[in-house]
Amino acid sequence: MANTLSDQETILLIADLEEKLLDGFKTTDLGTLDLLFADGMIFHDQYGNVLDKEMDMDAYRNGLVSINKINVSKREIRVFDSIVVVSASLFIKGKYADILLNGKYQWLRVWAKVQEDWKVISASCTSISI
């Protein structure tokens, strides 16, 4: 479905959805995550695992992932008609399975119009040491 918003309007909308997504991560709001993740989403985590929506949701549902803090230090949003790419540098504190998270990560998320709504269709996370 074509994007009927201007690029600037789309950037503002996606920035707002990004904040809702980060809040959903911090509060383990499964309803928000379910709403913002597309059913066919593919996620590459920082350890090279390939997860789909249900696997990622299960990790939150089962307490394998808990996020205490997320700070965004840099975010770029690029609009390509009905696809939006977001690159973000984040400081994350929490846990992933039995591994403590306390550092910087680079995220890449791809948002697309799915029927009438913007949803994350793909994401990847990389640990950075700088």
Q: Is 130's pLDDT higher than 80?
A: no
Q: How far is CA 110 from CA 43, 85, 94, in A?
A: 10, 5, 24
Q: How many structural domains is the chain composed of? A: 1
Q: Is 76's pLDDT higher than 90?
A: yes
Give residue 44's domain range.
7-128
Q: Residue 2 falls within a domain, yes or no? A: no
Q: Residue 23 falls within a domain, yes or no? A: yes
Q: Residue 76 falls within a domain, yes or no? A: yes
* pLDDT-derived band at 98, boundaries 50, 70, 90: confident
Model confidence, pTM = 0.92
Q: Residue 44 falls within a domain, yes or no? A: yes
CATH number at residue 58: 3.10.450.50
- Lookup result for tokens 């929506």: 53
Q: Residue 1 falls within a domain, yes or no? A: no
**What residue type is 28 in one-letter code?**
T
